[in-house]
Structure 1
Amino acid sequence: MAPHVLLVDDSTTVRMVIAAELREAGFRVTPVPTLDAARRAFAQYRERDPFHLAILDLLLPDGDGIDLLREIRRDPALERLPVMLLSSDARFGSRLRGLGVGADDFVGKPHSKSFLISRAHVLTGNTQTESAPRAWRVLVVDADPGLRDALEKVLRIGHGCDVVALESVDQAAQFLDLEGANVDGAVVDRRCFLRVLGLLRSKQPNGVPMIVLDDSPSATWPPVAAAKRNSAVASALVMPRTIEPGTVAEVMMRRLVEDAPSSVSSSSKIPIATIDAVRRLARGA
């Protein structure tokens, strides 16, 4: 029998969209709008058709999804139930708070369909996991909230990526310390590039494609000495912060297509000429 998913979200549109996506992927779904309805659903289906996964919105009309998560973890019959948090609040505090009390994953709104479906397959132990593509996870680290939001929007909505947008290296360190918090690519501010690079290399020795946003990129950056010591420094692509977020996203997608494992999905094919043009612009040519 197909895995049974409890979907808790107060938005009718979100419930309809995610329920349709899950059903299309072979799941059975019980969508409800409130914490109270979720509690009733647990009681109703506990014996005859238990849930294999719960997807909980953080903010609900009658409470906080974290409260329900705590109830699930305290219930001996539900404590092992996989839980995915769903929220438009992409701030790192929400991610960490949820994962810290026993959530298995976090999906932001607007969500990446491929990432949500892939994680649902994995968390329920569905055999379709092997053939299901997963979304690329891109780490964005920059102190400018406007830039972070713009990059997150275009990467998530325009390219279907799962985006982790953080404002500091400390937040990046906390995120990367979480089990399974691997990333496929990163866009970072020049001022924190070397520290983020060190964090990524300690977790993922093979490295990931990186774009460095610089106020005034030039041919003298990255530093020659650092580049000689570390090939990852030399391979980082420097782009001006003034470039449109859409162009940054397109270049990242191209680098992911070239460097990421074939099991990761992509709908973007950016010409090599785009990369060459951006490299020339980054050098001030």
Structure 2
Amino acid sequence: MSARILVVDDVPANVKLLEARLSAEYFDVMTAANGAEALAISRRAECDIILLDVMMPDMDGFEVCRRLKTDPATHHIPVVMVTALDSPADRNRGLEAGADDFLTKPVSDVVLIARVRSLTRLKMMTDELRMRAITSLEIGMQAPERSAVADTGKGGRILLVDDRQSSYERLATILAAEHTVDVEPNPTEALFHAAEGNYDLLIVSLDLNNFDGLRLCSQARSLERTRHVPILAIADPENSTRLLRGLEIGVNDYLLRPIDKTELLARARTQIRRRRYTDHLRDNVQNSIEMAITDALTGLHNRRYMETHLATLAEQASTRGKPLALMILDIDYFKSINDNYGHDAGDDVLREFAVRVRKSIRGIDLACRYGGEEFVIVMPETDLHVAGMVAERLRRSIAGEPFAIHKGAKRIEVTISIGLTTLERKGESVADVLKRADTALYRAKHDGRNRVVSQAA
């Protein structure tokens, strides 16, 4: 697994030692001798993970980490502090500054590489989401970086899986100061509880009686509903080897007993902030996908989606020997609505028209805004006779009740013309079907509007 690691230390011997360790594992290593240089490299997006010394001249590691984590351009880069400082106060100060981990020198090669690999996987997943979310920025959606920087990481929902009463009572009391905490002492029920609870963080003891805590972590990673929930593992010091195995299977962070209160809260906040950020990225990606295929005004699918999906429906109909009906609808005299009542009134009509269309068709039917005041409805497994009945029902629903405009202050009469046809020849092109429906629509408008005209193949 290749990643670009930035080693920040003002002691050349320390830099060479870390560089040798990481290069042996095929990581690309960059170096910086001070905080200012590290910040500049990070802002240029040249690194994936930062290994940061604390004791440096001019700007110490705590300040460098704080600046990285409060800058929207760099807050998502994992930071591991690697330092000779080993007091709980120093560790907590680093975590409070936003560090993803705090390793005390001398760091074993196994621990260092396991942590770097774990954070590399996390960074690559986040980068993929960030790249996919670029589209959402281009269409005007808000980027999540600034809200992520401002997020305190508090107010999360945590599931604590621990079967030792003295342990879970103490941990739950500490966590309850900042979060909502549920305790599950029965590990066999924990996965079901986690899947149903919409949690921001799972805290799992690896010292469960008669149950493998790592297996529970692995199962949580394989289940769709818990796959992206961060996991914080807790273990006794003699189980440190199993913790390293946990990092390989997807555990995000860990703590060794005895648990320091401040460190537990700091690590929980870090994981919850990261969960919220990645959730926001996923939401942006999903919303951008929906916006790319949806007409913003009516909520119906847009022409781009129709042209792609119609080809698929036509191919399925031909393969299965099933009919496929298609109608083009046009709002009569729509230009005069805009001219006489304003474009806001025209928008009101289009929105209400879309509502009535949805009420008149089935869930499997495809309704799209084709452009302007023209719409297309595609009906799988529907012959010309049945489609004609649907079209007539839709025509009556439009003409039968006036449309409210100007927030209900006025109501106007609206009618539609409909051209209808079906796909009946195997292999017939979608363009030919649309052209035939459009010809039928022209006849409907030429013959007086407010009518349905069918044209067989």
What is the TM-score normalised by the length of structure 2? Answer: 0.29
Q: Which has the higher contact order (CA 8 A, sep 6+)?
A: 1
Larger Rg: 2
So what's the TM-score if we normalise by structure 1? 0.45
